[in-house]
Amino acid sequence: MDEPLYLKDPYAKEFDSEVVDVFDGKNVVLRETVFYPQGGGQPGDTGLLAAADGQKFTVTNTRKFGGNALHELEKPGLVPGQKVHGEIDWVRRYLLMRNHTAAHILSGVIHKLHGAMITGNQLGTDKTRIDFSLEDFSKEQMEGFIEEANAVVDAGHEVKAYYLTKEEAANVEEISKLAKGLPPDITNIRVVDIVGFDRQPDGGTHVKNTKEVGHLALLKCENKGASNRRAYFTLPKEAPDTQFNPQKKSDTPRL
Ligand SMILES: [Zn+2]
């Protein structure tokens, strides 16, 4: 399977590539990229593309476009065939990765341990939102969910991503329902596994260990109708584990 660089190595920060297509001057498709295209509640990456002639182009957002990632540039100037060096805003992306894994942990707590249906989520750098459906609900109960999530963080579960065939997925409790509902042309499902805690079908980027997430703090809860609940949490800006220091650039070329 031809996996994009941002999934192959979610910790890749820089890469060399080539411009394949340009739309309206400022929307660029690259041969390969570490820029994550917005999807599944995870915002698209921002960063910089540098051409061989030294010209620099700020990437303000990355979106999905067909099977590719579309890099939205601040200004036009790149043309197909040009070689570029790319670098994502790693501080922002790493914070989003930590928020993404945190959202899976909290969803796991709410769904697996308390039987609620998760109905949506939106990841951010300042706050992350989780929507779920639960009959009885109070702020105290939500504080309890956050505490349980923080215990999962502290337990230091390994986080892995891999692909399962539809047949394999049908035997995994958390994803069997989804696997059965997939169209026939989809044969493999990417799974994010918080080992020993929760597995979810997922196309996003995650940290390698729950300890990197840091402790969730509840910001607010809202009731959106009879049993629809919404909660916002935030994470410390600094990751507790310095092993993946966001300021540190990759020492070896990725390509
Ligand atoms: Zn996810």
Helix-then-strand count for the chain, H and E = 5, 13
Q: What spacing in Å lies between the alpha carbon of 104 and ligand 1's midpoint?
A: 6
pLDDT score recorded for residue 246: 60
Q: How many alpha carbons lie under 13 Å from residue 92 in its C-beta half-sphere?
A: 14
- Average pLDDT of the chain to the nearest whole number: 91
Please report, in angstroms and rounded to a whole number, the separation of the first and last CA atoms in the chain.
18
Q: What spacing in Å lies between the alpha carbon of 129 and ligand 1's midpoint?
A: 12
pLDDT reading at 243 higher than 80: no
- The verdict on pTM exceeding 0.75 is yes
Type and span of the H or E element at 142: helix 139-154
Q: What spacing in Å lies between the alpha carbon of 134 and ligand 1's midpoint?
A: 20
Domains in the chain, please, with CATH?
Answer: 5-88 (2.40.30.130), 93-237 (3.30.980.10)
Residue 59's Cα: distance from chain center in Å? 18
Q: What spacing in Å lies between the alpha carbon of 100 and ligand 1's midpoint?
A: 6
Contact status, residue 164 vs residue 188, Cβ threshold 8 Å: yes
Q: Which residue has the tokens 């044969």?
A: 187
Least confident of 42-51, 93-102, 118-127, 172-181: 172-181
Q: What spacing in Å lies between the alpha carbon of 198 and ligand 1's midpoint?
A: 12
**Tens digit of each residue's pLDDT (9 = 90 or more) over 101-111:** 999 999 999 99
**Tens digit of each residue's pLDDT (9 = 90 or more) over 109-159:** 999 888 899 999 999 999 999 999 998 889 999 999 999 999 999 999 999
Residues 6+ apart with CB under 8 A from 243: 212
pLDDT reading at 253 higher than 70: no
- Give me the sign of the Cα torsion angle 208, 209, 210, 215: negative
